[in-house]
């Protein structure tokens, strides 16, 4: 029997665009990651797959409580890989959930 674990739900928001928005995203666009693995984008919006690819490797770590000295615990900004855009996103914790690992794997 698995023990319950606590995970954070996350929101990734476009905080600023220092270049030009080639992909059509704008400041305030976001997606949420909830219930461990459910990606939700608001109706009528999109999220560029290249911006998503830059933030995706960090999400599993940001869902967990990390050591206070870990850089991932204190850093929340991620840059899109497109140098023309210089799109900056913020990862925020927006809530917590208690889940069982055996329900997820």
- Give the model confidence (pLDDT) of 34-66 as tens digits: 998 999 999 999 999 999 999 999 999 999 988
Distance CA 82, CA 75 (A): 20
Question: Percent of the chain having pLDDT more than 70?
Answer: 93
Taking residue 64's Cβ as centre, other Cβ atoms within 10 Å add up to 12
E strands present in the chain? 4-17, 30-34, 38-40, 77-79, 87-100
Nearest C-alpha neighbor of 7 from the set 78, 93, 84, 82: 93
Query: What is the pLDDT, as a whole number, of residue 99?
Result: 80
User: How far is Cα 79 from Cα 70, in angstroms, rounded to an integer?
Assistant: 19
Q: Tell whether pTM > 0.75.
A: yes
């Amino acid at each position: 029997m698995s023990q319950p674990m606590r995970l954070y739900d996350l929101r990734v928001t476009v905080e600023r665009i220092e270049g030009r928005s080639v992909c059509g995203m704008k400041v305030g666009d976001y997606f949420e990651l909830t219930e461990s693995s459910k990606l939700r984008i608001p109706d009528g919006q999109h999220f560029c797959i290249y911006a998503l690819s830059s933030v995706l490797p960090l999400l599993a770590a940001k869902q967990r409580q990390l050591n206070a000295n870990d850089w991932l615990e204190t850093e929340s900004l991620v840059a899109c890989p497109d140098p023309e855009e210089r799109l900056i996103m913020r990862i925020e914790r927006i809530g917590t959930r208690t889940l069982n690992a055996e329900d997820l794997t």
